[in-house]
């Protein structure tokens, strides 16, 4: 019985990102599924940084990936394994495969391989390595070496092999050795007495075995790799993990989500104002559906309590902005004003708002929390909290509708009457209501006129949150009288 079936606490899963770019939504979603499974099983979630592509890997991408995972709330259990530090172990394993005859040196030049592929294309054959150097005699090898040829190392793939596994998402899987493209390169081209840089399929198997990974959970674009890797597990005599291949994330057109779709990096979503909790919630729904009776809005912990692969879909998951926005609104609305303020503060600071100068009240925690309570219910994105807070931190210009309102019948006398009755002393909502009534009576206008005009004067617009609460906030920061004065 496999670990998956027994629910053993020895479950160990990993995310193995390549630091050749910022944290991508596909990688993050894979991380979510790994994390949920580990937490559900009481196992360990590990990281391995696959930085063996020396040209494209950058430390700043590693930092970005780790920061993004942390931001999403996906904590890991051991120090991340750095793949490049293990290259000697990978080379030793390759030497072992050469020694045991599972691998051999291939001296074919790039030009020869290109000619081979062109011929295959011309004769409508599938591209594959034709195993031409699989059985070289010692004399043939010596001749190539004497020519000064370099060599790759190739792992033998028996065309007649049948590779099977029971995928936690896709069920029984079956691959023919003949469909794997011929003997696979496991070490890059190098002088024939050396072993070149070890390649992905080999190192991933060595490292997963060394890390005692019990379940490999990754995107379905790795299915063909899994078939190849299973042959390597067998050749190396390593224990085979359970595999789960998660569906791809698709764009609105049903194609694989790519850079061309614009926003794909977790940092982009963060910059757009999505809350980590909403994004993590949404990514979980990209391929998994909660059990009957459970809301679509949940925390990672709540999902972890019930997560299993039996509810992961085989079909690709279409990215749905409306649902993400809805979830984000739910998360924002569910937070208390103080929590919302803590998240908005950095965005406000970036705008130069919320400091003690020029207005000390702008830096007041209670005033800021009240501002968040006022604007919170209408936010979809965190960034909306920048736009909506703006008229509370800076005096807004009067837009056309506001100007028209202020020029309309009764507006000026009504605001003048209100200003005459308004001082800088404390003001509560009952007093504010009373003042509005008195000013309307004094100016001989309906209460609606004065309310609309006051909104125009305070916010420079006829749209905005609750008027009374808006006024009280601006009164506390000592800005209401000046704004009314300006519109007279």
Q: What is the dihedral of CA 81, 84, 85, 89, to 10 degrees?
A: 100
Choice between 93 and 204, CB closer to ligand GLU: 204
Name which of residues 9 to 28 contact ligand GLU (CB under 6 A).
Answer: 16-18
Gap between the Cα atoms of 22 and 440, Å rounded: 58
Binding mask 212-251 for ligand GLU (x = CB under 6 A): ------x---x-----------------------------
**Does 202 sit near ligand GLU (CB under 6 A)?**
no
Whether omega before 240 lies within 30 degrees of 0, making that bond cis, reads no
226, 169 Cβ separation under 8 angstroms: no
In the bound complex, what is the minimum distance in angstroms from residue 72's beta carbon to ligand GLU? 17
* Beta-strand relationship, 215-219 and 242-246: parallel
Active site residue 314: no
Choice between 18 and 405, CB closer to ligand GLU: 18
Gap between the Cα atoms of 430 and 432, Å rounded: 5
In the bound complex, what is the minimum distance in angstroms from residue 160's beta carbon to ligand GLU? 26
In the bound complex, what is the minimum distance in angstroms from residue 216's beta carbon to ligand GLU? 6
**Does 286 sit near ligand GLU (CB under 6 A)?**
no
Q: Which of 255, 256, 259, 351 is catalytic?
A: 259
73, 34 Cβ separation under 8 angstroms: no
Helix (H, G, I), strand (E, B) or coil at 103: strand
Helix (H, G, I), strand (E, B) or coil at 202: helix
**Does 204 sit near ligand GLU (CB under 6 A)?**
yes
In the bound complex, what is the minimum distance in angstroms from residue 49's beta carbon to ligand GLU? 9
Choice between 47 and 454, CB closer to ligand GLU: 47
**Residues sharing a CB contact under 8 Å with residue 79, sequence separation 6 or more, in sequence order:** none
Choice between 47 and 340, CB closer to ligand GLU: 47
Choice between 27 and 281, CB closer to ligand GLU: 27
Choice between 219 and 460, CB closer to ligand GLU: 219
Name which of residues 26 to 85 contact ligand GLU (CB under 6 A).
Answer: 50
In the bound complex, what is the minimum distance in angstroms from residue 204's beta carbon to ligand GLU? 5
Query: How far are the Cα atoms of 29, 221, 222, 311 from residue 284, in angstroms, in the given order?
Result: 7, 19, 20, 11
Structure token digits, residue 394: 């800076």
Gap between the Cα atoms of 416 and 436, Å rounded: 12
Residues that bind ligand GLU (CB under 6 A): 16-18, 50, 204, 218, 222
Active site residues: 259
């Amino acid at each position: 019985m496999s670990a998956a079936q027994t629910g053993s606490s020895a479950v160990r899963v990993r995310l193995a990102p390549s630091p050749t770019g910022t944290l991508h939504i596909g990688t993050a979603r894979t991380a979510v599924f790994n994390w949920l499974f580990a937490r559900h099983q009481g196992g360990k979630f590990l990281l391995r940084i696959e930085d063996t592509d020396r040209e494209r890997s950058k430390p700043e991408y590693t930092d970005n990936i780790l920061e993004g995972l942390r931001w999403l709330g996906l904590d890991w259990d051991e120090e991340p394994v750095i793949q490049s530090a293990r290259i000697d172990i990978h080379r030793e394993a390759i030497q072992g495969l050469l020694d045991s005859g599972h691998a051999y040196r291939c001296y074919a030049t790039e030009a020869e391989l290109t000619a081979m592929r062109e011929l295959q294309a011309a004769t409508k054959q599938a591209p594959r390595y034709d195993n031409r150097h699989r059985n070289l005699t010692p004399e043939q090898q010596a001749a190539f070496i004497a020519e000064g040829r370099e060599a790759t190392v190739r792992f033998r793939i028996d065309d007649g092999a049948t590779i099977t596994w029971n995928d936690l998402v896709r069920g029984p899987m079956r691959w023919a050795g003949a469909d794997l493209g011929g003997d696979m390169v496991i070490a890059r081209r190098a002088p024939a007495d050396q072993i070149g840089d070890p390649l992905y399929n080999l190192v991933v198997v060595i490292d997963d075995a060394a890390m005692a990974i019990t379940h490999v959970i990754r995107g379905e674009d790795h299915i063909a790799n899994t078939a190849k890797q299973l042959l390597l597990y067998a050749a190396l005599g390593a224990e085979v993990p359970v595999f789960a291949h998660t569906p791809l994330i698709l764009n609105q057109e049903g194609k694989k989500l790519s850079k061309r779709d614009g926003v794909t990096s977790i940092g982009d979503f963060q910059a757009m104002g999505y809350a980590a909790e909403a994004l993590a919630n949404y990514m979980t729904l990209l391929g998994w559906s909660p059990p009957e009776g459970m809301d679509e809005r949940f925390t990672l912990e709540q999902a972890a309590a019930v997560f299993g692969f039996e509810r992961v879909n085989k079909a690709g998951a279409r990215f749905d902005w409306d649902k993400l926005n809805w979830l984000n609104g739910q998360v924002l609305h569910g937070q208390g004003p103080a929590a919302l303020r803590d998240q908005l503060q950095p965005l406000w600071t970036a705008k130069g708002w919320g400091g003690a100068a020029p207005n000390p009240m702008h830096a007041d925690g209670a005033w800021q929390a009240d501002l968040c309570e006022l604007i919170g219910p209408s936010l979809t994105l965190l960034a909306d909290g920048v736009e909506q807070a703006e008229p509370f931190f800076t005096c807004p210009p009067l837009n056309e509708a506001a100007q028209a309102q202020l020029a309309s019948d009764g507006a000026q006398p009504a605001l003048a009457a209100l200003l005459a009755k308004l001082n800088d002393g404390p003001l509560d909502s009952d007093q504010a209501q009373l003042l509005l009534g008195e000013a309307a009576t004094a100016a001989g206008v309906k209460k609606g006129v004065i309310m609309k005009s006051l909104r125009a004067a305070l916010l420079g617009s006829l749209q905005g949150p609750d008027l009374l609460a808006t006024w009280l906030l601006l009164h506390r920061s000592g800005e209401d009288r000046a704004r009314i004065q300006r519109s007279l």
